[in-house]
Homo-oligomer: A and B are copies of this chain.
Amino acid sequence: MPPLDEFGRIRAWTEGRQSKKWMVEAGVTLGIGDDAAVVAGGTSATEWLLAMDTMVEEVHFLDATMSESDVGYKALAANISDIAAMGGTPKFALVSVSVPPAWNAERMKLLFDGLYECADKYQVAVIGGDTTSAPSHLVVAVTLMGFVEAGKAVRRDGARPGQSVFLTGPTGLSAGGLHGLLNNIGSIPARLAQAHQRPSPSVKAGRLLLETGWAASLNDVSDGVASEAWEIAEASGVRLLLKETLLPISGELASYALEHGIQPLDLVLYGGEDYVLLGTVDKQHEHSMKDRFRREGIPLFIIGEVEAGEPGVAIQSASGKVKPMDKRGYNHFSKG
C-alpha cells in the first residue's frame, strides 16, 4: 500500500478544490469524506441521468499519449459527453482510482488537477471518491449524475425512416492526434493533439437538441461514427445510409493525413473520442435546425439519411456506390 491511507490520499487530492458554498448551492448536502455522499432529491419534474465510464492505462492511454492531468480531464469529459448525448446537464461526479506503484502522490495530484479543471469548466461537483492500490496500470472509473426534464431524455432508439442523419462537428481529429502522439511526430497540429487529450463534450448542443425536441435519436461519438451509427440503427430497427461527400473533414486532419499517408476517411469513420453528437432529425426540422445552430455557433452537418430495412449502416461513395459499413469500434493501440 502507498504510504498515505485511503482517506489521507483522497483528501490530499480533493480537499479545498471546490468551495463549500458552491457545493451547497449545487445541491450537495455532504461531499467526500463519509460512507456516501448526500445530494438533493430533485423534483418530480426532473429525472436523473447516470453514466459510468472507465479509462485503463495501456488500453486507453500511455505515458506517450496523455499527461497525468489529461487523463483526469478526459476521464470526466467522457462521462460528461454521455450526459450530453441524452440532452442532460452534468451535475455530480464520483471518481474511483486504482493506483499502481508507478503513480506516486505527485502524479495523482496532477491527475486530479486535470479532473477538477474539467469539473469546474462544466460546473460539475465532485462528491465522492474511492481509492485502492493496484498491482499495475492505473484505472480511473468515473460515475456522473446529470439531470434532464422528465420524459425528455434523448435516446438512441428514436431513428425513423425518412429522417436525416446529423453530426455536430467533424470527427477523426482525436484519432489523428493519437496517431501523431503514438508515432512521436513533433509537428502534430495543436487541434489534433488537443482533440485527443482535452476533448470538449457537446453539452451545449445536447441541451439545444433536447429543448427544441429536434433530435429523434442521439449518441455521442465516443467509439467512432461507424459504431455509433450502428448503435442507433440497431436500437431503432432502421438502416442508416451515410454519404461520403457529406462527411466533414477538418482542414488540419486532411493535411495531416496527406502528409503521413493515412486515409482520412478511416479516421473520420472509425476513430473515436471526438465527443461530437450523432443523431437523426425529421426532415421538416432540418432548416430551422441549421439556422439555429448557426446562430448559436455550433457546427451542424447533415451526413446521410435513415431508411427502412434490416438494421445496419452503409456508406455511399462519391461515385454513388453503396457498401455496408463495418460495425467495429475504436481500438486505441491495435496494430491491425
Contact = CB atoms under 8 A, between A and B. Distances in A.
Interface of A: 1, 5-7, 29-30, 33-56, 58-60, 81-83, 85-86, 88, 92, 94-96, 98, 127-130, 132-137, 139, 141, 143-148, 150-151, 153, 155-157, 219-220, 223, 227, 231, 235, 327-329, 331, 334
Given A53-B96, A56-B132, 10 more contacts: A1-B331, A29-B47, A35-B51, A36-B146, A41-B48, A52-B94, A60-B132, A94-B143, A96-B141, A134-B137
A87 to B, nearest CB: 10
The 6 tightest CB contacts between A and B, nearest first, are: A41-B42, A36-B51, A141-B141, A143-B143, A35-B85, A35-B82
A94 B96 CA distance: 13
Given A153-B29, A156-B34, A44 B43 contact: yes
Contacts of A48: 38-42, 48
A83 B43 contact: no
Contacts of A334: 1
14 contacts: A29-B153, A35-B81, A35-B156, A35-B220, A37-B49, A43-B43, A54-B141, A56-B132, A59-B133, A94-B143, A98-B139, A139-B139, A139-B141, A141-B141
Contacts of A1: 331, 334
